Structure formats: C-alpha cells, structure tokens
Structure 1
Amino acid sequence: MPLPEQVVFRELKLNTFRDINIAVLDMKDTSNATDAFIQTARSLFTDEGA
C-alpha cells in the first residue's frame, strides 16, 4: 500500500532508539482498549511483558 503523498519514509540508523511514554490519569479507570494497548506495548517493547 503506498504512503500518502505528505508522509515521508526514512530509514533509521542502526542502533537508533526512541523513548516512548504512555500516561493515564489512573490505571483503574482505563478503558479495556487502553489497557490492551498498554499490555501489548509492554510485551513488545520491555522485559515487563516477558
């Protein structure tokens, strides 16, 4: 699928890292979708999910 015209695709240099943070007001008040997203992110990007 081609990217929209305004989107630019650039290769990242090897060993390039990004910090990604997720913030919610209170974990007990998150929706099921938000909770699923957080759990998926944890399992993919940290050792917490292992």
Structure 2
Amino acid sequence: MTTQLAEALEVSLDYLVRSTDVLLKKNIVSKILDIQKLKENDRQHVFALPDTN
C-alpha cells in the first residue's frame, strides 16, 4: 500500500516515509536507473555533460 501511494504521488518511498529530505521524482529515478544500465564509458559521457557549460 505504501509503495502504491509513493507511485501515485510520483515520489520515492524514502521521501514518503521521511528517510530523506531529498525529493526524488519518479521520472528522475527512472532516468537514473536507465543510466546505471549503460556501459561504464557511456555513463562517464552522460555524467560529463552537465560540466560542459
């Protein structure tokens, strides 16, 4: 039930039960999980992008 509530609110379960003050929206968590599936070299490129201002 708690997991369903977190999904409905599009927040992490940790945020819902106040284990963290960081609000992690569902779409951001999904992107992070997708990045974790990448090969190491590709992950490095993804993480380097925000630093290229």
TM-score (norm 1): 0.31
Q: Which has the higher helix share?
A: 2
Structure ID, larger Rg: 1
TM-score (norm 2): 0.29
